[in-house]
Structure 1
Amino acid sequence: MAVKPQAPEEGVGAVDRALSVLFAFEAGEEALPLAELARRTGLYKSTLLRLIASLERARMLLRDGEAARWRLGPALVVLGLRAEPAPLRVVVPPALRRLADETGENASFYVRQGEARLCLLREEGRHAVRDRLVPGSLLPLDRGAAGHVLREAPEGVVVSLGERDPEMAAVAAAVRGAGGALLGALCLSGTVTRLQDPARRAPMEAALLREAAALRRTLGG
């Protein structure tokens, strides 16, 4: 039974109520409607909507399309990576820098976020013409090399040419951890002109597979 939060003896009541909204989500849940959030937190819907508006601005919650349903947002993943002394934030950035330096293309690390993919870490390439993304960006899961890796978890390298943007292309490989668990997708992205030639793309694919294998060894895979 949900219990309406009481005003704390110390601290800020609004913060506690906002946290109660975030912790209302359970593992594996995609999106919750307003009525269910109200039931779980014990908060009035009018109060909930004000809290949700603030959490949406911070990208801690995302609205599920036009419906009055919300899911946890990418800002929580980014904060978790910063706070957690996890191996990913230690070992992945050097791998991205090596890939960007070696190939000149943008190097990114994506994780699955519901039915989207989240750019968690990024190293810009040196080419003047390239796709412009920042960590925290959400992209479709059904388009782009990294999206296919996160959906299908294939072995080897996945190539996409002009799927998400007709002028952009990407190659990606799975990064696995203990027990072969899929941790994310390592990706190189650039223009279709540069990546459509298999001969030119081959060294990039080899570099991706090398770094993905090294990460897997480091992460216990």
Structure 2
Amino acid sequence: MAALERGLSILEAFTHAGNPLSLAELSQLTGLYKSTILRLCASLLRCGFLHRLDDGRYHVGPAVFQLGRIYQRSFKLGDAVVPVLRHLVSKTGESASFYVRDGESDVCLYRIDSPHPIRDAGVAEGDRFPIDDSACSLMLSSLGGKPCPSPEMRAEDIVVATKQSRRIAGAAAVLSPVFQLEKRLAGVLLLSGPESRFTDAAIGEMTRLLLDQSAHLTQVLGGDARPFLRALAETAEA
């Protein structure tokens, strides 16, 4: 098991680097001895998980691509998102949604309603909203066209709270982005409910919960969750 974990740590190094790596670079990124890396790389090369370039550097091999294709064919976004939404609702009691940008509209792709009789009604899965100056729309616009997240992003740069929803009168929301492969925006996780329940203390708890679940979902989608985890650690220290 330990050898398997060390081998996987070598493959994981390429997800952060994004380019061929030398033996010295692999040692620095993984913390493994060069002799250990050479032994593990020999096995990964034989199985097609690594490819060695003429200059001695390593890159991921075709077997990784084949596994990725299998994952893409079998993966359904809802299978990853809906359990996260259920978890958010169970922890906060508020409605949880996942929004994406589709052309000139923001789409509520998935949603789990709050169990409270008083909640932000009027939004359902599949609802489309024109692009506007709401917090969700602004986040989809600002992060949708560039590689993210930045390693320097702090909690306040990631999670946005608004006590006056632009789309639903009397509603408040806390939202966080989710990223996928190549640092592209996958969508926005959003907790929403009546303004009266979104106290500063509640928003603080929701912020930590959203950072945790955004990190989890980003990892599932192949994105870099480290900025979320760093921001989460910052909130714990505050």
RMSD (Å), alpha carbons: 1.7
* Partner Cα separation in structure 1 for residue 86 and residue 97 of structure 2: 10
Within the alignment, does 1:206 sit opposite 2:208 as a pair?
A: yes
Where does the alignment leave 5 or more consecutive residues of structure 1 unmatched? 1-83
CA distance 1:141–1:209, shift in 2 (3 Å): farther
The residue aligned with 1:137 is 127
Q: How much does 1:98 deviate?
A: 0.1
The residue aligned with 1:176 is 179
> Does the Cα contact within 8 Å between 2:139 and 2:177 map onto a contact in 1?
yes
> Does the Cα contact within 8 Å between 1:168 and 1:192 map onto a contact in 2?
yes
Picking from 162, 165, 170, the partner of 1:167 is: 170
> Does the Cα contact within 8 Å between 1:186 and 1:208 map onto a contact in 2?
yes
SS at match of 2:85: helix
Q: How much does 1:120 deviate?
A: 0.4
Where does the alignment leave 5 or more consecutive residues of structure 2 unmatched? 1-72, 144-148, 150-156, 224-238
The residue aligned with 1:185 is 188
- Count of paired positions: 137
* Partner Cα separation in structure 2 for residue 148 and residue 97 of structure 1: 25
Structure 1, residues 54-91: CA drift from partner, whole Å, max 9, x if none? xxxxxxxxxxxxxxxxxxxxxxxxxxxxxx74341111
* Partner Cα separation in structure 1 for residue 93 and residue 209 of structure 2: 12
Q: How much does 1:144 deviate?
A: 3.1
> Does the Cα contact within 8 Å between 1:141 and 1:150 map onto a contact in 2?
no
Higher mean C-alpha deviation, range 84-93 or range 100-109: 84-93
Within the alignment, does 1:89 sit opposite 2:44 as a pair?
A: no
Q: How much does 1:102 deviate?
A: 0.4
**Please, what TM-score do these two structures have when normalized by structure 2?**
0.54
**Please, what TM-score do these two structures have when normalized by structure 1?**
0.58
Amino acid at match of 2:90: D
Q: How much does 1:143 deviate?
A: 3.7
Within the alignment, does 1:128 sit opposite 2:117 as a pair?
A: yes
SS at match of 2:169: coil
Greater share of helix residues, 1 or 2?
Answer: 2
Identity score, percent: 38
- Output aligned runs, 1:33-48, within 5 Å: none
